[in-house]
């Protein structure tokens, strides 16, 4: 998924934040004995209750429609799909107890557990998946993540309206407990996709009964570890243990999620004992990282600068390489101070295909030589161009740092074009600026999710770059499940992307920085940046 750094909200959100903050302040002013006294709704002594925060009101908990991190976090604790990932990112059974494919990876069957059930006790059926996936792909739903299932036979045509019969989709219930999926082309890692939120099953009876309100407290039925108990909009969400969920991983009976728009407010609530876990913004990492309750771990998020390869002078590979050699990524992450990891390659650390030896390393002398070969000796005659990026303090730090490095190392003068996120996205879609900033966070832990981004047919490839061999390699990599073979393929593809053609410059990969109570384990966190509340336990 595309991601952007935290930025200031608009005025309406600020008003909502103030209202929420007043509630928190009133809590803080209460004597501790009163705050922790017994009550029906917030008994923090008699129950095992986890207290965390989310950065905004979730726009929706309808998993066919959700697209944001806050909604993802909550939905992933309410629901499970056919598969899921363990803490080491291994794919393991969830609602399906096994799956199998044909030799060409074009047809899969998933076998649903006999005892898999919804929170109201009704059995989970293959038909629940068929309904959910058809709804996701229906043009009437207008789901942004519909493309996620385009590998299914006829899915793209159905979503675009070219065909209208949902029975032509390559997903069908062979029986109540067997789901069959037929794909357009081979895809060895398709089961990975079934761990992602948009593929979760859905109850057709509830959607028909409640309409747009089916995903609210008291109406929703779930398959995951927690129930949606209460949703006090703009204040807090309460999740309670799902009695039908069968797992030993249930460290807490209840989870209270306070809606806190500002990172510093979340830190205050942690310091005063109200929260058990708090995100640490990059600006505060240097002060917090020596604390015993501070943890930091890599996540599958890449941050890059892209070129519009169809615009002068970046239609010249030598120019793009010169820019890449002129940037010291270590200098950027030192300026950010958020524990980011500098990188020269695109596939992130910890993921299959990661190779630290691929990519362009900082070499200002080589950069100057390449720029001269391109016709701009010592930067003479180089046109004035702008670095475009979406507004945020961190993005500004990166842009100013690169601006200074290009001036120092290549004698190139660039300006900065700072835009609000929605305006920025609109600019990219109309025609990418000469140099632009973007990031990508993994939807699932397979390199295809990163490498397919820059194929010629990708809607997220804003560079205008096309390379036939690169496209072929990306397609070849999904035809096999042999790890060694896939790694060799991705090595060749990454060399084309990051060393030879250079339509992008990978800058760094992300890290998650948190404060976690020392009395808690850290088992619930993972590189996908999904917080599984039920996996977090008291030590």
Give the range among 33-42, 48-57, 124-133, 203-212 with minimum mean pLDDT: 33-42
Which CATH number applies to 60-213: 3.40.140.10, 3.40.50.300, 3.40.50.620, 3.90.76.10? 3.90.76.10
pLDDT, tens digit, 9 for 90 and up, residues 444-499: 999 999 999 999 988 789 999 999 999 999 999 999 989 999 999 999 999 999 99
Residues 301, 517: Cα–Cα separation, whole Å: 25
pLDDT band at 46 (very low <50, low <70, confident <90, very high): low
Q: Is the pLDDT of residue 434 over 80?
A: yes
pLDDT band at 138 (very low <50, low <70, confident <90, very high): very high
Q: Is the pLDDT of residue 25 over 80?
A: no
Which residue carries 């036979």 as its tokens? 153
pLDDT band at 29 (very low <50, low <70, confident <90, very high): very low
Residues 522, 539: Cα–Cα separation, whole Å: 10
354-375 mean pLDDT: 98
For the chain, which residues make up each domain, given as ranges? 60-213, 297-512
φ and ψ of 328, to 5 deg? -95, 105
pTM of the complete model:
0.81
Higher confidence at residue 78 or residue 282? 78
Tell me if 60-213 shares its fold with 297-512: no
Cβ contacts of 480 within 8 Å, gap of 6 or more: 188, 486
For domain 297-512, the CATH class is alpha beta
Choose among 182, 198, 201: nearest CA to 190. 182
Q: What pLDDT score does 7 carry?
A: 34
CA distances from 90 to 394, 407, 412 (A): 32, 45, 46
Choose among 414, 432, 453, 397: nearest CA to 326. 414
CB-based contacts of 162-168 (< 8 A; 24+ apart in sequence):
166/134, 166/137, 166/138
DSSP single-letter state for residue 454: G
Q: Is the pLDDT of residue 95 over 60?
A: yes
pLDDT, tens digit, 9 for 90 and up, residues 169-224: 999 999 999 999 999 999 999 999 999 999 999 999 999 999 999 999 999 999 99
Q: What pLDDT score does 225 carry?
A: 96
133-152 mean pLDDT: 94
Give the range among 129-138, 242-251, 270-279, 496-505 with minimum mean pLDDT: 242-251
505-518 mean pLDDT: 95
Q: What pLDDT score does 65 carry?
A: 93
150-154 mean pLDDT: 96
Q: Which helix (H) or strand (E) holds 152?
A: none
Higher confidence at residue 109 or residue 4? 109
pLDDT band at 2 (very low <50, low <70, confident <90, very high): low
């Amino acid at each position: 998924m595309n991601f952007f750094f935290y930025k200031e909200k608009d005025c309406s959100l600020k008003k909502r934040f103030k209202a929420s903050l007043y509630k928190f302040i009133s809590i803080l002013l209460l004597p501790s004995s009163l705050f922790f006294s017994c009550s029906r709704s917030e008994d923090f002594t008699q129950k095992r209750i986890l207290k965390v925060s989310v950065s905004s009101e979730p726009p929706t908990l309808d998993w066919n429609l959700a697209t944001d991190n806050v909604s993802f976090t909550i939905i992933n604790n309410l629901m499970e799909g056919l598969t899921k990932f363990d803490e080491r990112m291994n794919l393991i059974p969830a609602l399906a107890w096994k799956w199998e494919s044909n030799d060409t990876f074009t047809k899969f069957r998933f076998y649903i557990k006999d005892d898999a059930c919804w929170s109201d006790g009704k059995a989970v059926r293959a038909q629940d998946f068929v309904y959910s996936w058809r709804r996701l792909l229906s043009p009437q739903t207008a789901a942004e993540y519909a493309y996620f299932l385009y590998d299914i036979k006829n899915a793209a045509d159905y979503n675009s309206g070219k065909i209208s019969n949902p029975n032509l989709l390559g997903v069908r219930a062979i029986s109540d407990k067997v789901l069959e999926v037929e794909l357009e082309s081979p895809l060895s890692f398709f089961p990975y996709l079934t761990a992602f939120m948009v593929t979760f099953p859905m109850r057709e009876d509830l959607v028909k009964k409640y309409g747009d309100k089916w995903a609210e407290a008291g109406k929703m039925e779930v398959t995951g570890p927690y129930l949606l108990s209460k949703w006090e909009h703009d204040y807090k969400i309460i999740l309670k243990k799902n009695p039908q969920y069968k797992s030993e991983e249930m460290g807490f009976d209840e989870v209270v999620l306070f809606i806190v728009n500002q990172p510093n407010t979340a830190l205050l609530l942690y310091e005063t004992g109200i929260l058990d876990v708090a995100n640490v913004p990059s600006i505060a990492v240097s002060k917090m990282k020596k604390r015993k309750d501070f943890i930091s771990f890599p996540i599958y998020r890449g941050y890059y600068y892209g070129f519009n390869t169809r615009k002068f002078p970046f239609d010249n590979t030598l120019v793009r390489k010169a820019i890449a050699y002129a940037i010291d990524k270590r200098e950027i992450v030192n300026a950010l101070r958020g524990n980011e990891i500098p990188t020269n390659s695109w596939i992130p650390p910890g993921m299959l295909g990661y190779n630290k030896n691929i990519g362009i390393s900082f070499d200002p002398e080589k950069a100057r030589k390449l720029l001269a070969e391109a016709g701009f000796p010592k930067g003479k005659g180089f046109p004035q161009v702008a670095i475009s990026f979406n507004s945020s303090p961190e993005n500004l730090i990166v842009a100013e740092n690169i601006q200074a490095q290009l001036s120092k190392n290549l004698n190139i003068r660039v300006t900065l074009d700072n835009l609000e996120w929605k305006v920025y996205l609109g600019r990219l879609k109309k025609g990418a600026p000469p140099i632009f900033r973007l990031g990508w966070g993994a939807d699932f832990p397979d390199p295809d999710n990163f490498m397919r981004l820059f194929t010629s047919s990708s809607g997220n490839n804003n560079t205008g770059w096309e390379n036939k061999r690169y496209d072929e390699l990306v397609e070849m990599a999904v035809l096999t499940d042999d790890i060694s073979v896939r790694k060799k393929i991705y090595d060749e593809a990454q060399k084309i992307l990051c060393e030879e053609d250079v339509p992008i410059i990978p800058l760094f990969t992300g890290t998650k920085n948190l404060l976690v109570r020392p009395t808690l384990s850290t088992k619930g966190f993972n590189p996908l940046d999904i917080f599984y509340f039920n996996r977090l336990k008291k030590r």
